Structure 1
């Protein structure tokens, strides 16, 4: 979502994924049609005016004008309804702050989230040549965002994107599961195509360090290249490949497939996971300058959580590897990861 406030009214440019919109309210679509483009525009106007509102600091609601600007666009094989809503500013409107309440789709689809970006008058706000600034994230149970244009700075954007990077990897079960499967056999040494003896602590630490470093290099490379627009791949195949990477790494945790080249496998799969991280970044609006700050902050957020998880998990794995039941734990976790990966491959292929 983009917010413009330089006009006589506050204008919102909203991007609604039509598949999620249909899950939220089927009455907006013809009951017998599978075509997502067949939207009831009149019903959508009423729906949006019910689920989107702006209020002043004194809790005075702004009047929403009739929505009459609709267009359907496709991004990464997903259809979006792009629409504009305008709210009339009262004479005593205080431009230093206002509240945006938004729960379209969110009231039914709790995984939906909306990045809010501020644009057009950023020359005056940031005293720089930035036209767009991502200022907040609206999601389930956090449906109201208080916007203070005068407090939008490069540092506030950096903090927001850093936290978003942390949240993204912390909630990304598939990425964390892949990393766990990669380091599960790190405390062990392979022989005769089996994981057998326990590795020395130094060897275990070095193995994990190489795996994590090469995974980081891989996903950082494709995250940067994709976000900056140098490469682009469809989202669906990438999500399938992410699930496939979990399946392969889980198989390796049961029986060594690439024990001597784990770091290079981590790098190759990191390239794929970086594409998936870039999908998250693509949902935000940036100009050519702001995108560098956002990219660095987002990636640092990812790396921070990843490092914290490795620091917590590896010592536990190293201690368990010296017990007689580590084999059962390793195989059980790997089988569960394989089941989850197989489910995701099927689900994402449909």
Structure 2
């Protein structure tokens, strides 16, 4: 290789290794911060299920617990609560403040007339990916008779509150004889049932899938570890195809409630999958030997990653088959983003392998992946005591 190209490749190697080192340090710094601050440096997703067979409807909202308590301007005693029993107690004590906040930020109308919300019992708490979410149920009394049109609006956790940014509200609905789903954002906060076309729904969930892959460092690390170990374009195509087929199967099954595996199992196994592939790169397995184990291992771990992708939507209510378009769009968003990452990184890694520093680059890139994944694995294991 000409000296100029060799120097360029070495510079590129240092850049890629530097980026991985930066991510490693970032994960460790993030781990050292208090949990609420670490969670709210970025964003959150609110979940809403709205159902009804006439004018009146019921909305079940899942909202990140500590963020909800902060947004309702409650004291640290409320939003710092960590045990479920104490969280339930705080929700009961602060019932009026919580309901006031939610009903000001989430609204339902019928033929453009506001529906009157009434809380249906006390709020509950459930866990999503090791984060506590408050479950608030509201019954909306909507004036009117006969066929009409509902509209759902969400302004939950806006940027102006400064706790999070770019909040998305994922809405699943069975209203006005229609079943579907939508993503409400600050730029598009209102859903009029029956007005959004299928193309709009496809675009929303395609972008949501792309965003989920890009924001999920564990999935990107797994993909990067696979690329580091691949030597030929054919290897990349076969490996990526196996991973795609596997996680597509479990994603669709889990998102529609056919398969239900607790996050306490899925998340540690995802971390283990990254460690296995990255350690294989460090051990420098021969290409022939690697070919025998890589495909079945990638397929098996792909099944687990699909369960992780499904947790981003958490659509598991009865009738989810009607949400198939949203699920497929979300999955396609993941696949296209994955292909873009491969198209960008594989040629660069191929260039680096042609230099004398090829082995050093493999070790320098794989070691941080193993270190971060080991931390994730330990952090995600729920200890029984």
Superposition TM-score, scaled by structure 2 size: 0.70
- Give the superposition deviation at 1:96: 7.7
Residue deviations 1:155-191, cap 9 Å, x none? Answer: 333332222211111211110111111110223xxxx
Structure 1's unaligned 5+ residue stretches are 124-129, 188-203
Structure 2's unaligned 5+ residue stretches are 1-47
CA–CA separation in structure 2 for the residues paired with 1:32 and 1:157:
37
CA–CA separation in structure 2 for the residues paired with 1:12 and 1:333:
47
Partner of 1:153: 197
- Give the superposition deviation at 1:62: 5.3
Partner of 1:174: 218
Q: Say which SS state the counterpart of residue 232 (structure 1) adopts.
A: coil
Residues 45, 66 of structure 1: 8 Å contact kept: no
Moved more, 144-153 or 110-119: 110-119
Distance 1:66 1:224, change over 3 A: closer
Partner of 1:206: 234
Q: Say which SS state the counterpart of residue 119 (structure 2) adopts.
A: coil
| Total equivalences in the alignment | 319
Aligned: 1:50 with 2:137: no
Aligned: 1:12 with 2:65: no
Q: Say which SS state the counterpart of residue 319 (structure 2) adopts.
A: coil
Residue deviations 1:99-157, cap 9 Å, x none? Answer: 43111898536697531223221x2xxxxxx43x111145xxx4861222241333333
Partner of 1:248: 276
RMSD of aligned residue pairs (Cα, Å):
3.7
Aligned: 1:220 with 2:248: yes
- Tell which has more relative contact order, 1 or 2 (C-alpha 8 A, sep 6+): 2
Q: Say which SS state the counterpart of residue 114 (structure 1) adopts.
A: strand
- Give the superposition deviation at 1:221: 1.9
Distance 1:62 1:54, change over 3 A: farther
The structure with more helix, counted as a fraction of residues: 2
Q: Say which SS state the counterpart of residue 38 (structure 1) adopts.
A: helix
Q: 1:303 aligns with which of 335, 338, 347?
A: 335
CA–CA separation in structure 2 for the residues paired with 1:147 and 1:212:
36
Distance 1:7 1:270, change over 3 A: same
Aligned: 1:114 with 2:169: yes
Q: Where do residues 1-350 of structure 1 align in structure 2 (5 Å cutoff)?
A: 1-3=48-50, 11-18=58-65, 21=68, 27=76, 29=78, 34=83, 35=85, 36-51=87-102, 52-53=104-105, 65=117, 67-72=119-124, 74=126, 80-85=133-138, 99-103=153-157, 108=163, 114-121=169-176, 123=177, 130-131=178-179, 133-138=180-185, 142=186, 145-187=189-231, 204-257=232-285, 259-260=290-291, 261-283=293-315, 287-350=319-382
